[in-house]
């Protein structure tokens, strides 16, 4: 694979600008109950059906930390190669809103549970490291519903108190493509770890995007704007593109960029000012006196570290070494835990390289077509391996294999059965093939003569005739060999 050069710049009238992006990703912790209460976290329940007195901030209610959420944060931190802090503190972030029952969000401010870490991205121009600033635990707020009634706003507190991990990157990202790769990598790591399902439609993963621009070659960062709460990669990319262009235009017109919080309007495809720095909330953070500082024993961290599954970066290296895949193949096949599991199951039972080619080709195309995850693939890994093996052993040709594949998708049958019942087995018996070839030679004497006289292009014609007569089942390799031999004779 030839290495491309990084080339994402905004071209203004006068200068070329580099885009600097930092992300604050909010990832919902995968846990049965909320961060400080026993309420369920299940998605899609009727409004206000998963709300305890703690979540709705009744008088005298007190938060108690959910140990599993803490472990999930530690696991995620370890997955991000980050420093786990043995001492962290929960703070109150104070502001008023109808869907924030306590009047404050319990978060971590000065002392987060996870410190600096890093994430590796494989870009077409090489591998790139993105720094992680921190990861902290915090409560989600409820949801205000403005469109149920013309004059009232309704509040659903099911989400109130659910644990979120806020993962803050360093301003290391430079293009919408890198943002795409970064989010996918984060999601992949968390799915491997089982700490966040990464489901963006359900809001389990959303991000605040910080964007600034600077002239190419400048060392100093420009003034940044924060685009709040963007909930799909596509919208993030669109928001960045719009925002970067807006900032460049301001600069080129000699105007100043105000540090502010903006919203991305997905209908108009533009960002809009939400509040300026002057209007920024004073959150009056202070340590939550209802909760003791969170002290983690080193042993707990070590034990969690030992129990971590193999993560994508490690797995990729192993796939390259163990299965002889190239970097591109390995990257694709480790991108999701389920895909890598499927591949490994197939590779164990069949040709490793051929399995990769067929998975990334026909299988992915089919899944994509049907909009299915690999976990719901109509073809089991075992059947898929049998198919790959049938190709490898020469039992069927690649062309026939595509037909078998189609039937497998429809019926879910195993390929052996399909091949046998439909008589699709490749003709690999030399004697049978010789019979067919002799027949063709005798029918086409003129062409044989022309071939012998030097018109070698005609070889393709003979192959075609063999295939036609054998119903496509003739083993191509063997056909070539025998045909060459007999034509000479």
Q: At closest approach, how far in Å is the CB of 226 from other proteins?
A: 17
Give helix then strand counts, H and E, for the chain. 16, 16
Positive or negative: CA dihedral 469, 473, 477, 482: negative
Candidates 11, 16, 98, 393; binder of other proteins (CB under 8 A) is 98
Q: At closest approach, how far in Å is the CB of 264 from other proteins?
A: 23
Beta strand 163-169 pairing with 205-215: unpaired
Q: Which is nearer to other proteins, 64 or 365 (CB)?
A: 64
Tokens read off for 68: 């599993």
Candidates 92, 185, 191, 337; binder of other proteins (CB under 8 A) is 92
Of 397, 422, 394, 426, nearest to 407 by C-alpha is: 422
User: Concatenated DSSP letters for 331-356?
Assistant: HHHHSSHHHHHHHHHHHHHS-HHHHH
Stretch that binds other proteins, among 54-62, 76-84, 197-205, 228-236 (CB under 8 A): 54-62
- Write out the binding residues for other proteins, residues 258-297 only, by CB under 8 A: 282, 284-286, 288-292
Per-residue contact track with other proteins, 104 to 133, x per CB under 8 A?
x-----------------------------
Q: Which is nearer to other proteins, 53 or 87 (CB)?
A: 53
Q: Which is nearer to other proteins, 63 or 198 (CB)?
A: 63
Q: Across the chain, which distance is largest between two alpha carbons, in Å? A: 101
Per-residue contact track with other proteins, 140 to 159, x per CB under 8 A?
-------------x-x----
Candidates 53, 125, 221, 328; binder of other proteins (CB under 8 A) is 53
Q: Which is nearer to other proteins, 6 or 285 (CB)?
A: 285
Computed over its alpha carbons, how large is the radius of gyration of the chain? Answer: 30
Stretch that binds other proteins, among 71-79, 101-109, 161-169, 404-412 (CB under 8 A): 101-109
Beta strand 205-215 pairing with 260-265: unpaired
Using an 8 Å Cβ cutoff, are 119 and 186 in contact? yes
Candidates 4, 32, 58, 67; binder of other proteins (CB under 8 A) is 58
Q: At closest approach, how far in Å is the CB of 60 from other proteins?
A: 4
Q: At closest approach, how far in Å is the CB of 53 from other proteins?
A: 6
Task: Provide the terminal-to-terminal Cα distance of the chain, rounded to the nearest Å.
Answer: 44
Count of residues for the chain? 489
Q: Which is nearer to other proteins, 60 or 489 (CB)?
A: 60
Candidates 11, 32, 42, 64; binder of other proteins (CB under 8 A) is 64
User: Concatenated DSSP letters for 219-233?
Assistant: -S----EEEEEE-SH
Residue 227's beta-bridge partner residues? 209, 262
Q: At closest approach, how far in Å is the CB of 222 from other proteins?
A: 24
Neighbouring CB atoms inside 10 A of 285's CB total 15
Residue 130's beta-bridge partner residues? 119
> 79 by DSSP, 3-state: which?
helix
Q: At closest approach, how far in Å is the CB of 160 from other proteins?
A: 11
For the chain, how are helix, strand and coil distributed in percent, rounded to 5?
40, 20, 40
Q: Does the footprint of other proteins cover residue 65 (CB under 8 A)?
A: yes
Q: Does the footprint of other proteins cover residue 56 (CB under 8 A)?
A: yes
Q: Which is nearer to other proteins, 78 or 89 (CB)?
A: 89
Give residues with Cβ within 8 angstroms of 62, minimum separation 6: 54, 290
Q: Does the footprint of other proteins cover residue 29 (CB under 8 A)?
A: no
Using an 8 Å Cβ cutoff, are 402 and 445 in contact? no
Give residue for tokens 């190419």. 216
Give CA–CA dist 184/192, Å, rounded. 12
Q: Does the footprint of other proteins cover residue 443 (CB under 8 A)?
A: no
Candidates 63, 77, 161, 312; binder of other proteins (CB under 8 A) is 63
Say how many residues touch other proteins, by CB under 8 A. 30
Q: Which is nearer to other proteins, 281 or 370 (CB)?
A: 281
Beta strand 91-94 pairing with 286-287: antiparallel
Stretch that binds other proteins, among 95-103, 217-225, 245-253, 271-279 (CB under 8 A): 95-103
Please, what is the Cα angle at 69 between 64 and 74, to 5 degrees?
125
- Write out the binding residues for other proteins, residues 381-440 only, by CB under 8 A: none
Helix axes 298-306, 67-79, angle to 10 degrees: 60
Q: Which is nearer to other proteins, 91 or 336 (CB)?
A: 91
Backbone dihedral angles phi then psi of residue 437, each to the nearest 5 degrees: -65, -45
Candidates 2, 46, 62, 220; binder of other proteins (CB under 8 A) is 62
Stretch that binds other proteins, among 27-35, 59-67, 73-81, 409-417 (CB under 8 A): 59-67
Candidates 43, 68, 81, 94; binder of other proteins (CB under 8 A) is 94
Residues that bind other proteins (CB under 8 A): 53, 56-65, 92, 94, 96, 98, 101-104, 153, 155, 282, 284-286, 288-292
């Amino acid at each position: 694979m030839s290495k491309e050069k990084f080339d994402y710049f905004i071209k203004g009238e006068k200068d070329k600008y580099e885009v600097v992006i930092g992300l604050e990703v909010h990832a919902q912790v995968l846990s049965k109950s909320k961060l400080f209460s026993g309420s369920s976290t299940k998605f899609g329940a009727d409004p206000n059906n998963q709300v305890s007195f703690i979540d709705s901030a009744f008088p005298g209610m007190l938060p108690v930390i959910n140990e599993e959420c803490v472990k999930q944060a530690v696991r995620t931190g370890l997955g991000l190669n980050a420093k786990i802090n043995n001492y962290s503190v929960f703070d109150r972030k104070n502001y008023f809103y109808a869907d924030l029952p306590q009047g404050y969000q319990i978060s971590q401010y000065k002392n987060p549970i996870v410190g600096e870490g890093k994430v590796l991205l494989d870009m077409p121009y090489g591998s790139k490291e993105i720094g992680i600033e921190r990861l902290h635990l915090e409560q989600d707020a409820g949801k205000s519903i403005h469109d149920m009634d013309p004059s009232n706003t309704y509040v659903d507190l099911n989400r109130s108190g659910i644990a979120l991990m806020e993962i803050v990157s360093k301003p290391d990202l430079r293009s919408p493509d890198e943002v795409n790769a970064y989010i996918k990598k984060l999601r992949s790591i968390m799915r491997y770890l089982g700490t966040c399902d990464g489901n963006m439609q359900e809001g389990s993963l959303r991000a605040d995007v910080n964007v600034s621009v600077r002239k190419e070659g400048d060392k100093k960062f420009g003034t940044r704007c924060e685009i709040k709460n963007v909930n799909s990669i596509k919208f993030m990319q669109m928001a960045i593109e719009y925002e970067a262009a807006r900032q460049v235009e301001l600069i080129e017109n000699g105007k100043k960029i105000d540090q502010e919080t903006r919203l991305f309007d997905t209908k108009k495809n533009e960002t809009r000012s939400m509040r300026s720095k002057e209007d920024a909330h004073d959150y009056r953070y202070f340590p939550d006196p209802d909760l003791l500082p969170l002290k983690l024993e080193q042993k707990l961290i070590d034990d969690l570290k030992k129990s971590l599954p193999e993560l994508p970066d490690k797995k990729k290296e192993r796939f390259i070494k163990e299965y002889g895949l190239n970097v591109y193949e390995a990257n694709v096949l480790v991108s999701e835990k389920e895909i890598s599991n499927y591949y490994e199951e197939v590779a164990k039972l069949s040709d490793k390289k051929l399995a990769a080619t067929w998975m990334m080709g026909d299988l992915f195309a089919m899944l994509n077509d049907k909009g299915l995850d690999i976990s719901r693939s109509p073809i089991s890994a075992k059947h898929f391996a049998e198919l790959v093996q049938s190709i490898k052993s020469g039992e069927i040709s690649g062309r026939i294999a595509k037909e078998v594949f189609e039937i497998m998708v429809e019926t879910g049958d195993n390929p052996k059965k399909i091949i046998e019942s439909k008589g699709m087995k490749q003709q690999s018996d030399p004697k049978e093939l010789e019979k067919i070839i002799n027949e063709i030679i005798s029918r086409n004497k003129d062409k044989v003569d022309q071939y012998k006289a030097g018109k070698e292009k005609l070889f393709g014609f003979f192959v075609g005739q063999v295939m036609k007569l054998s119903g496509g089942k003739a083993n191509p390799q063997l056909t070539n060999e025998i045909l060459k031999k007999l034509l000479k004779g």
